[in-house]
Structure 1
């Protein structure tokens, strides 16, 4: 399984954990809620759904309206609308994927998908993913600065500006990650110091309160200029 198809399967399982959906509705949610999938087509989505059904992680069901209209549908040749529903095994598999914090979770597209489901992710896992992503970007930024220092004299003004833009994009995301990490830590500290919070373990998807952006748009982790 390729990394890109793995990201799509993760996102499909995550969206269907929220509620069952038709394929069209699922594709719409992938495009609107998770912008990293804006280029995905039905030709990509449906093979993914078939794989997940074959794995036992999803089941196909006729929608409520279509179930009553099956005889008429067969006479007219129209295909009944299929609703995809997460199975218990699929939910368990998705929760296992949510717990992974390895290097793949820090890469651009995978991080964007993981972040989209942070509301369903445990706090400690969120912290490891955020810190891993920050380390990855700091390494990238160091390489970009070293490369620019070596090649600055040979670059024309426009190429130089493009390089600077890429660096600024990475720097902006690092600042954003710093705010998120600090917010997560503050939320955890507040919970530990609270009399009510000390009696319960935090395994929910609650955040510590996302930082307010000062008029900025949150950085796009899939921005090509930040690579």
Structure 2
């Protein structure tokens, strides 16, 4: 999965959570890899000043060949390390470097003892038993945590979920932004239903050649030469 697509999905996750009254922050997929070597940038600079008051801080992560996710709940001092391949590891998470870094970040956001959990500590977390769908798992984990919902998808749903996300992305990020006028959960879509916006028309425009008129008297014709 390309990170532009992932960021688009995460933007919609945040918007859908906000509609449900949940204040969620989502980190940028292009930023989080810079926290590790060789970048070693300060993760705290990427977060809002009120990060400690958010319902959830969703942090998508990438290591070569695999997507991961961390979710912080600052108000409860809980941090989750989520990995679709959790069942293959004794500690349930594929990056010790990110684990240590995010522990330090949690202390910067809210000092004190945090409760750490992986998918091994949770009930019925979907797992990636086959395929290359770790990016889709990451997004779906984030969405369910953002909505504080119980998991009800599995690896056999990946094809349908990919298609669904493609449709949702096209509805919301289509050419010229028309898709957002018809997505039921956006402000533009709600305004369209209330008939508060003009209808969308696609009219073919004729191109006009804007050139000054040239007087025929000014045109110099070549003289005729006998053959």
TM-score band w.r.t. shorter chain: under 0.3
TM-score normalized with structure 2 length: 0.23
Specify which structure has the higher proportion of helix: 1
TM-score normalized with structure 1 length: 0.23
The structure that has the greater radius of gyration is: 2
Specify which structure has the higher proportion of strand: 2
